[in-house]
Structure 1
Amino acid sequence: MLTYQDVLSLFSRTTGIRDENIRFQTVSSLAGAKQPKGLFVPVSTDSGTLQEAISNGAVAAVWPEGEQVPAYAPNHFPIFYTQDNLKGLEIIMNSYYDYLTQNKNIKERTKFIFQNKGLLNESDETYDIAVMAENINSLGSNQNKAGEE
């Protein structure tokens, strides 16, 4: 599972609590999606609000550097800052995918939640991220099916 420490190693500037015990069950670009123990990464204006993400289970967020975090965000809420959220999401996914391919026997995996792939075809970058998420999620589902007949 993706951990606080994993994300911290990718983004050096943070605010909020530093808790190495946080394990992200989900990474989502959609505030309205249920995201238990989630890392919220808003990649567009359609992503929704941080408040909505928190109410749906987000326990941390990746945030654009230079953009003010909403005042309602709890002081202890972990925020990881990046120059570009879409690029930041890509970095997280590439790092996690590399980790999974090197450690294929991992039982607990982080689930990535994104918009409908059909809507993402407007931009090659977002489509690539959707494909990467599908690949990451399928690694776990293929392993679960192993030995089942």
Structure 2
Amino acid sequence: MLFYDDVKKLFPVTRGVGLPGIGFLTVSSLPEVRLERGLYIPLDSHRKLFDSINNGAIASLWDGSEEIPLFVPNHFPLFIVEDVHAAYRELIQFYKQKNNQEKWEIMTKFICNSESDLIKTMDEEFLEVLNEKKGGE
């Protein structure tokens, strides 16, 4: 699950009250769909923010060069970014990486005395697969 704290870590400049510990159930650039506890991504138009709030959005990314509408409640967090499209891509990448890490966390961990012990017991094909799965280490 994507949490407010995750998004705040990526985009620390905010406006509005923070929602630490709150998870987003939906993330969407479509303001007309039901956004239950949603994070709205205004890719097409910032003018549709009102619709997204009415449909359940509880926060939004926001282009820092755009004026914030007067109807935005003080308790509605906006994550201020330079480029909403780039920020959305970054958010998706972050979520994919986080999801992969969570999957790895529930897997059985093999702890060896040294890497040479591991190499002695595994065949080369398995080690190649293992190294591919490590990711960004």
Q: If the length of structure 2 is used for normalisation, what is the TM-score?
A: 0.72
CA pair 97-17 structure 1, distance change in 2 beyond 3 A: same
CA pair 51-105 structure 1, distance change in 2 beyond 3 A: farther
C-alpha distance in 1 between matches for 2:42 and 2:22: 20
C-alpha distance in 2 between matches for 1:100 and 1:90: 15
Give SS of 2:21's match: coil
Q: Which residue of 2 aligns with 1:70?
A: 69
Q: If the length of structure 1 is used for normalisation, what is the TM-score?
A: 0.67
Which one-letter code corresponds to 1:43 in the other structure?
L
**TM superposition shift of 1:48:** 5.9
Q: Which residue of 2 aligns with 1:16?
A: 16
C-alpha distance in 1 between matches for 2:83 and 2:99: 24
Greater C-alpha radius of gyration: 2
Flag the structure with more relative contact order, 1 or 2, with Cα contacts below 8 A and sequence separation at least 6.
1
Q: Percent identity?
A: 36
C-alpha distance in 1 between matches for 2:28 and 2:87: 13
Q: Which residue of 1 aligns with 2:30?
A: 30
Q: How many residues align?
A: 105
Q: RMSD in angstroms over aligned alpha carbons? A: 1.7
* Deviation per residue, 1:118-146 (Å, 9 max, x gap): xxxxxxxxxxxxxxxxxxxxxxxxxxxxx
C-alpha distance in 1 between matches for 2:104 and 2:34: 26
* Deviation per residue, 1:44-78 (Å, 9 max, x gap): 13x76111000111000000012111110101110
Q: Does structure 2 conserve the Cα–Cα contact (< 8 Å) formed by 1:63 and 1:81?
A: yes
Matches within 5 A, 1:1-149: 1-45=1-45, 49-104=48-103
**TM superposition shift of 1:21:** 2.1
